[in-house]
Amino acid sequence: MNIQITLTRRARQTSGFTLIEMIGVLAVIAILAAVLIPKVFEAINNARVSNAAMTINSVKTACVDHYAKFGAFPVDGTVTPPTQLSTPITQYDLQLVKEGLMDKPFVVKIGDGTYGASSSRVQLIACQTAATAPTGANGAYNLSGTATGANANEAAGTWVIESVITGVQEADAQQLNKAIDGPTASLGAATGAADLGGRVEYAVASGGLVDVHVYLTHR
């Protein structure tokens, strides 16, 4: 009887974890968390930017499909030569949705999350000649990003369809630029500088935020 009681007591004393073992486990968990959590947030952010790039490509495909079907852009942009628009023709992605060429209006997971005539949108603009900075209604695109001079603009004098994403973190804009234009240095922009080359453009960040203009197609 005494032997059984003694064995039971010893079993109770040896079961469970010691304090040192608990501290060791917690230390390992803390190290793993410190290493993995930043990677998780990075992966989430990369997914948001990738989603934006995919959405932009979907809109571009819808515009091209519409042109192939009707011989014109979704709105009247056939005047030659294009004349300056005091107000861009915006949000005709709604027409693309109505025609079944898009599943839903242009919405991305970066930026301020707003949508409308003065926020994130898809618009038709009369592309001007001076590619000095994306200015909204009359932005211009140095599509190659390698031409000499700040005013090089392969889309000059045409109707251009572009997407605009407002209130984008500069780091997200840089990442979107790499996703769409590639890592080529001539198409990129340093932190705090404007990006005037390639299909993705934005002015100097204000408060860490930029409005990103993305070329889709032109006629």
How would residue 18 be classed by pLDDT, with cut points 50, 70 and 90?
A: confident
How would residue 9 be classed by pLDDT, with cut points 50, 70 and 90?
A: low
> Could you report the per-residue pLDDT of 36-65, keeping only the tens digit for each?
666 666 677 778 888 999 999 999 998 888
Q: Could you tell me what percent of the chain has a pLDDT over 70?
A: 68
Q: How many CA atoms lie within 13 A of 144 on its CB side?
A: 9
> Could you report the per-residue pLDDT of 139-163, keeping only the tens digit for each?
678 777 665 555 567 777 778 888 8
What pLDDT was estimated at residue 138? 55
What pLDDT was estimated at residue 56? 92
* Alpha carbon 39 to its chain's center: 19
Is residue 69 within 8 Å of residue 75, measured between CB atoms?
no
Average pLDDT, stretch 89-107? 79
Give dist(CA 109, CA 48) in Å, integer: 6
E strand segments, 88-158: 89-90, 121-126
> Could you report the per-residue pLDDT of 101-137, keeping only the tens digit for each?
888 888 888 888 888 877 888 888 777 665 555 554 4
